[in-house]
Amino acid sequence: MPELADGSVQLMVTSPPYPMIKMWDNLFAQADAKIAELWQKLDENCQEETVRQIYDAMHDYLGKVWQETYRVLIDGGIACINIGDATRTVNGKFQLFPNHSRITEICEKIGFTTLPYILWKKPTTKPKYKGKGAFLGSGFLPPNAYVTLDCEFILLFRKGNLRKFQPKDSQRYNSAFTKQQRDEWFSQIWTVKGTRQTASQLERRTAAFPDEIADRLIKMFSIKGDTVLDPFLGSGTTTKIALQNGRNSIGYETDEKVLPIISKKIGNSKINMAAEVQIIKR
Ligand SMILES: C[S@@+](CC[C@H](N)C(=O)[O-])C[C@H]1O[C@@H](n2cnc3c(N)ncnc32)[C@H](O)[C@@H]1O
């Protein structure tokens, strides 16, 4: 993110492409030639070691963004990363790819302090049997069924020390949440319905998170006038909600095809401060 100066952002809220989730395979392969090569190697000779290398390379790709996020955050700035784990059958073997723990390890190596995370519970999908998506006839017989992944993670990290404010800082006090909001938002399990995806394939491909998720995180971890970054902007949810809440916003998105969705989302929001949206093309 060369456009952004060191220490210029107070909060990062994002949801990256999820490693080992099929819908993002092409994106990772197109973004990184090494990943494309490894998939080809896997097709030719399916080896567990190659699967491991693909998983590692996907996290290396995301890791560069976490590293840049660390640089652009202020001391005391917060990073919120929405990520789901992945399950997949490779070479006939069903297994979990715990993306949340890998990202936590990488962020700690970068220098972030890990904070208690949030579990975002979504409506349950059908339990799995041998990775096939249903219990079938043996659903009541141990031991080969798997627990369903019905939570995603919202990982929380801080750069450096607690943020410092002047006593009675007016912007901070103007950004206060209510007691009811505090009690609900600062508990670990959030039950928030996922975004109902529209029929448009273009919109589905962004896998948007609901406005509610961005709204809570922005109000919990930034104050009015702050700048909120989303390095994987998708349909523009973070920017829309940041602007609605009197924050500035910067977003990065590599897929030009989602630009009309971003424009529509941000254009329809009730912007309550002077805001400028700049599109940086490379
Ligand atoms: C899970 S989606 C984000 C969804 C978003 N939270 C929303 O509400 O719409 C991830 C997005 O990251 C984009 N992306 C992937 N690699 C990127 C990169 N290196 N820089 C910027 N955007 C990237 C993808 O094109 C995709 O739109």
Report which of 257, 278, 254 is spatially closest to residue 62, judged by C-alpha positions: 254
Ligand 1 center to residue 252 CA distance, Å?
Answer: 8
pLDDT digits (tens, 9 = 90+) for 204-239: 778 999 999 999 999 999 999 999 999 999 999 999
Q: Is residue 50 lining ligand 1, measured as CB closer than 6 Å?
A: no
Contact between 218 and 224 (Cβ < 8 Å): no
Contact between 130 and 144 (Cβ < 8 Å): yes
Q: What is the pLDDT of residue 156?
A: 99
Q: What is the pLDDT of residue 272?
A: 44
DSSP β-ladder status, 113-121 and 151-158: antiparallel
200 Cβ contact list (under 8 Å, min separation 6):
none
Q: What is the pLDDT of residue 92?
A: 82
Q: What is the pLDDT of residue 273?
A: 43
Q: Which ligand 1 atom lies nearest to the CA of residue 261? A: 9
Contact between 218 and 13 (Cβ < 8 Å): yes
Contact between 247 and 222 (Cβ < 8 Å): yes
Ligand 1 center to residue 16 CA distance, Å?
Answer: 6
Q: Is residue 206 lining ligand 1, measured as CB closer than 6 Å?
A: yes
**Helix (H, G, I), strand (E, B), or coil: what is residue 156?**
strand
* Low-confidence stretches of the chain (pLDDT beneath 70): 124-139, 196-203, 268-282
Q: Whose CA is nearest to atom 27 of ligand 1?
A: 234
Helix, strand and coil percent figures for the chain, each rounded to 5: 40, 20, 40
254 Cβ contact list (under 8 Å, min separation 6):
31
Q: Is residue 82 lining ligand 1, measured as CB closer than 6 Å?
A: no
